[in-house]
Amino acid sequence: MKERIQSDLKYFTKILEDKGYALTEKSPNQSDIQKIEHPPKGAKYDAQKLFDLFNSQPLCRLIFQFMLREKVDNENEFIDVDKFTNFIYGVVRENKIQHAIAEPPVYIFVCPECKSSNYVEIKRADKIRAECQSCGAVFDRKKLKKIGSWQKIGLFDVYRVLSQLSKTGFVLEQNQIICYECEKIEISPTIKMKEHIKCKKCGNFKEVKKVYSTIDFSIFRDIKATWFEWYVYKILKEKCKNVQRVIPLHKVKNIQTGQETEVDVLAIVENNKIISIDCKAKFLMGSVSRNDINNIVLDWMQFTDYLIIIATSEIPVHTKDFWENKLNACETLFIQGNEIEKLPEILNRVRV
């Protein structure tokens, strides 16, 4: 692995030197990306599982991002599942979630005749049938149509995703055990739950509730800032067939002037064309304003063939127009949250 990284760095160095630039030191945040990609000895999390989960079910990256925000910004060790579910309801109502993920994260069954989900199951002639309460149609329940839904996201869906995240090791699933008589709250691993259902002190039954938290990220400098850069780097590395080389978070220096700039992700495609990527992990309710994109991207035009701005949320048309006018000397792509997993298809269409 180290040999491949060194080979990629040498390749980038040669291509950039031909343009009058040089790779200098790694960004301090790159050490965090390496820790995500290659966990420290003894760590119990699996980066590949996390990537596969994000890539196959983007709702998982939204919840993970929410958990990081709660822990880092609001100093909440455990995610409030009810709070997050209500937050999701609000995001759905405001039509914001469609800017963050492409496909509806929940599937429902509907009547094949009128497409209503208002049906009941009944037993007729020893067979389970479905009877639509909207149009009256009666049919074998196997004929129910499965369709995507935004409005149905709820508590059970959030718990399902949290349970999946816990299997990556980045999220901890535990039990909050409360004895209201003794006014005592304990946190216990799931495997010990049966031992704590009844209070040994007062004999009353305790309330047992699942709680979720992220692992202790003290080993990272800024996991909240780097998880998305890691995810984009990983997509380019594993999913983009026309990407020949890719490196995360490096500083690039103009050899003549000595001026340095930092790029979140650098990639090389066919014909040694360079792609520079700026990653914006905006929170779900927000959108990328023109001021969120730093002026340093203007420096990239001197050595970049393609510039890509990737955000986890919406990139409004006026923001794109503003920056396209400033970056007219360089072909620029804007990819918002609901297009992230389509990055391989988008790059395959890039002219080289």
**Domain harbouring 296, CATH code:** 3.40.1350.10
Positive or negative: CA dihedral 62, 67, 69, 74: positive
Query: Is 168 domain-assigned?
Result: no
Query: Is 171 domain-assigned?
Result: no
User: Looking at residue 161, what is its pLDDT?
Assistant: 93
User: Looking at residue 63, what is its pLDDT?
Assistant: 92
Query: Is 266 domain-assigned?
Result: yes
Query: Is 187 domain-assigned?
Result: no
Q: Round the CA-based radius of gyration of the chain to a whole number and report it.
A: 25
Question: Which tokens belong to 62?
Answer: 């939204």
Beta strands in 162-292 (DSSP E): 171-179, 184-189, 207-214, 243-254, 260-269, 273-280
Domain boundary among 116, 149, 182: 149
Task: Domain of residue 142: give its range.
Answer: 106-149
Query: Is 41 domain-assigned?
Result: no
Domain boundary among 149, 183, 200: 149
| Contact call for residues 246 and 8 (beta carbons, < 8 A) | yes
- Per-position pLDDT tens, the chain of length 352: 556 667 888 888 899 999 999 988 777 777 888 888 888 777 788 999 999 999 999 999 999 999 988 888 888 888 888 888 888 888 888 888 899 999 888 888 999 999 898 999 888 777 888 999 999 999 888 888 888 888 888 888 899 999 999 999 999 988 888 887 777 777 777 656 566 677 777 877 777 788 898 887 777 777 888 999 999 999 999 999 889 999 888 889 999 999 999 999 999 988 889 999 999 998 887 889 999 999 999 999 999 999 999 999 999 999 999 999 999 878 899 999 999 999 999 988 775 5
The whole-angstrom separation of Cα 160 and Cα 349 is 35
Query: Is 236 domain-assigned?
Result: yes
Number of domains in the chain: 2
Query: Is 39 domain-assigned?
Result: no
Do 232 and 342 share a domain, yes or no?
A: yes
Do 25 and 122 share a domain, yes or no?
A: no
* Terminal-to-terminal C-alpha distance of the chain: 28
Do 230 and 311 share a domain, yes or no?
A: yes
The whole-angstrom separation of Cα 255 and Cα 21 is 5
Query: Is 294 domain-assigned?
Result: yes
